[in-house]
Every structure is written in C-alpha cells, then in structure tokens.
Amino acid sequence: MTQSTTTMGLSVQASELAKRADKPEQESRNVLIWEAASNLWDRTTNPDGVVSLATAENWLMQDSLYNHMRKHFNPGPDVFTYSHGTRGSQRLKEAIAKFLGHHFSPAEELKAEHIVITNGCHSALEQLSFTLADRGEVVLLGQPFYGSFIMQFESRAVRNIIVVPFDNDEDRFDKDATVATYEKSIKQIQDPHGAGLKVKALLVCNPHNPLGRCYPRETLVELMKLCQRHEMHLVVDEIYALSTFDNTVDEGFTQVPFVSALSIPTEGLIDGKFLHVIWGMSKDFGASGLRVGAIISQHNKALRDSLVTSGILASVSSLSDHVSAHMLEDDEWFHLYIEESRKKMSAAYSKIATWARKNQIPYVPANAGLFIWVDLGSRFLESYPGIPEEELEDLIVKALYDNKVLLTRGKDFGAEKPGWFRLVYTVPDETLDEAMARILQALGGSLRN
C-alpha cells in the first residue's frame, strides 16, 4: 500500500507499510467474522443481526463461569506490576501443573517449571514457530486443519507450513495410514533432487479441529516414533482436551476417548526434547476472552528459556492470570462444571446432527470439540446444479451471508473438497434454532445479487 508524498517539491511514492504487511492488510478487508462480531443477532435487541456459528466458543456454561469469577475475583495490588515476569505467575503454573496432572494423567510428574504461560494458544504456537524452525525449514500439517495454524506459523515468523493431503477422514486417525502419509511427504520434501528442505516439526491437533475426533493412543505412539526417526519436533495442540462428550445419535461410530501425548511414556519412542503440548482456558473453560494459553515442554529447558525475553510480546494479563488460577484450583467446582458441560455439549451435538441427517446434509460424526464438519455443497448443488466446482464455496458463503448467517468455509481449513463448512453448535438454543432455519433458507432459497 503506497501513498503519494511531496519532498522538496518532488512527488514520490512512499511505502505506508512494510511489504510483509500488505497481504494481511488486504485480507482484513474481507474477514466477515469480525464484521459479523459487531452485528450479532439477538432475538430482542438485534433481530436483523448476523447469526455467527463461525467462532469456536462454548456459550453453554457462561453463567457458571461468570458466577465463579464474581465470587473469587479479589486480586491484590501486584496485578498492576510485572512482578510475575513474562511467562506467567508461579501460582498459575503450579495450578496448571496440578490440574493437568489430574486430568491428563502425565507419564511423569508435571511441574510448574515445565510450563510457559502466554496470552492465549495463538501466542503459544506463534512463540513456538520462532523457536523450532529457521527460515526455509518446514512444518507439516495434515488436511483439513484449523485455519489459523497457517497464520501462527507463517505470518510473522515467515516459516513454511506444508500441508499434507489424506485420502479420507479415517486415514488421519489410523496409525498405519497416517504415518505412511507423513513419511511419504517427508521423503518428497527432503529429497535433495526436489525441494531439499528440512522438516523440523509435525503439528497435530488432538482432539481434531475441525473433525471433532480424538487420535487413538496407538496413532500418537507411531507419530512419536516417526518424529524420532526424522529428528522432528512433535507439537500437539490439546486445546479441546476436555471438550469431549457422549455421542448418542451416530450408530456404529467408534468414540475414541481423549489421550494426552503427555500420558505416553517417551522412553524408546521419542526424545523428550522433541515433544511439546499446547493447552489453554479458551475451549475447555469456555473462556477465550481471558487469553490464557500454555506451552508444556517437560524436557526442553532451552526452549523454555528462549521465551523469557520474547515472552513480553505474549505475556498474559495479571488479571486473567488471577482469575484462571482460581478456576483451576477449585476442584469441586470444576468437577460439577465439566460434568454439566459435557451433558450440554452432547445434547447440542445431538440436535445439530439430527437436523443435518433430517435435511440430507452429510457430516462427519464427532465426540469432541465445539463444532461439526458438514457438507453443504452437495445439498446446495441439488438446488443449483451445474455450478462450477471453483465457484461453489464462494456462492454458498454469499447465500449464507445474504441470509445473515456465518459459518467457516472449508477452503479456510484446508479442505480437500469444496463445499465443506465448520459449524459451531455450542451456542444458546434459540441462536442454534435461528441459524438452522437460515442455513436451510440459504441452501434452498434464491441467490441474490
């Protein structure tokens, strides 16, 4: 982006931004999710607003969170200082270590010193992007994937993400198929007669976003072995770890329980220095606004130390630190919280899956996450046959937004086939009802110019 200026009577073109800012500046003009955020639907106060099911937030337990915060919010004067440094307070790190020690069943004791606190998991992953790979080295990411992974590993760090296609949804969870797929990609990427690039890390989201499934333990074991063979880091994003539920509607679907990478003994599988886990308060606690994330790296002190200085760019608010520590320390409250949350998630999933099946909308059965992966393209083509494949998703997005409903399209998640969308269902009942009605109207209604 440039502007004309005059210097000593001469007209010149001066760059307004660094070149690397041009692309994000242009992309920001078309990000509907933030446009919709300022005009959200409310049956009473804003009935003409946009119903957004694009942001993975859990609205189902907000009353419980709010009441807990009000009861325990009593920070001291130290919240106005840098007294805790750049990597989170000792109290919060100890609380996370104890909490994950109970819920993740780590194979070896998890200590506060193993944890670096950041202002959200976005920042945690971006911090890792600086420390794990140099320019020109690459990180593997299987399709489909959480769209912001690309931004976290490339926008500022200028690292290379290479996406890896899979034949079908089942392959990326099968221990033999997933390893064979990644192994093939690694050989192609590192072939000196080809790209000749070094693969430094594999990034995995477990439970998976957007597929809403957990990786079996045996698959995680094989991924560890793969990374050890190629001296790669294994980064496991476990932000949806406790956001699992009982799928009561999809007969024949095998519900794999969540298994943390921390619970698998690394001896004989992978050098502990190569294993890093991400977790935070955003999803399991429905508290994305707190902006609290954590990097857990039990055997890589050098990595943790490297984040002391850069941590100032990603340090957590002392107020969020205080609130989160109280939540994590309250075992009795969380036991009731997570039990109720899982019941509500199960009911919400049953509602959206039943709706999809009733309306002939294909979807991927799930038992984790806050969303369902749905194929709107096939239903849309029934109403509008003959649409070119390359135009399908844009036309669906337009039809949805014309009806003031917003979903995240598959293209932004690396979907291998057009027409797939991620639909977040952990919203109030009346919001979900309104969204489902508008989606059906968009799929079968007229396309307005």
Residue 140 main-chain phi, psi, to 5 deg: -90, 140
Reported in sequence order, the residue ranges of 150-229 that DSSP labels E, i.e. its strands, are 160-164, 199-205
Do 104 and 250 belong to one domain? yes
Do 135 and 264 belong to one domain? yes
> Can you give the pLDDT at residue 314?
87
Tell me, yes or no, if the pTM score tops 0.75. Answer: yes
Among 330, 353, 377, the domain-final residue is 330
Return the CATH number at 302.
Answer: 3.40.640.10
For the chain, the domain total comes to: 2
pLDDT band at 37 (very low <50, low <70, confident <90, very high): confident
Among 273, 302, 330, the domain-final residue is 330
> Can you give the pLDDT at residue 449?
34
Which of 209, 224, 212 lies closest to 261, judged by CA? 224
For 216, 261, 266, the CA distances from 228, given in Å and listed in that order, are 19, 14, 10
Cβ–Cβ contacts within 10 Å for residue 86, how many?
18
Answer yes or no: is 150 within a domain.
Answer: yes
Higher-scoring residue by pLDDT: 16, 246: 246
Higher-scoring residue by pLDDT: 4, 319: 319
Across the chain, what does the average pLDDT equal?
90
| Token pair in block for residue 40 | 């959200």
Do 348 and 236 belong to one domain? no
> Can you give the pLDDT at residue 178?
96
Do 417 and 286 belong to one domain? no
* Helix runs in 234-317, H state only: 301-310
By mean pLDDT, which of 21-35, 52-66, 167-181, 405-419 is the weakest? 21-35
> Can you give the pLDDT at residue 433?
97
Answer yes or no: is 51 within a domain.
Answer: yes
Return the CATH number at 41.
Answer: 3.90.1150.10
Answer yes or no: is 8 within a domain.
Answer: no
Written as one letter, the residue type at 215 is Y
Instruction: Give mean pLDDT, residues 246-258.
Output: 97
Do 289 and 162 belong to one domain? yes
Cβ 200 vs Cβ 232: under 8 Å: yes
Answer yes or no: is 433 within a domain.
Answer: yes
> Can you give the pLDDT at residue 163?
94
> Can you give the pLDDT at residue 151?
81
Do 94 and 150 belong to one domain? yes
Among 330, 347, 371, the domain-final residue is 330
Answer yes or no: is 400 within a domain.
Answer: yes
pLDDT band at 286 (very low <50, low <70, confident <90, very high): very high
Higher-scoring residue by pLDDT: 17, 124: 124
Do 192 and 321 belong to one domain? yes
Q: Is the pLDDT of residue 12 over 90?
A: no
| Token pair in block for residue 149 | 């992974």
Instruction: Give mean pLDDT, residues 289-306.
Output: 96
> Can you give the pLDDT at residue 81?
81
Cβ 200 vs Cβ 137: under 8 Å: yes
Higher-scoring residue by pLDDT: 127, 195: 127
Do 42 and 84 belong to one domain? no
Do 208 and 278 belong to one domain? yes
Do 318 and 298 belong to one domain? yes
pLDDT band at 448 (very low <50, low <70, confident <90, very high): very low
Q: Is the pLDDT of residue 359 over 60?
A: yes
**Domain range for residue 359?**
17-62+335-444
Sheet-wide strand order for 420-424: 363-364, 371-375, 420-424, 408-409
* Residue 203, strand partner residues: 141, 235
Do 159 and 283 belong to one domain? yes
Instruction: Give mean pLDDT, residues 119-135.
Output: 90
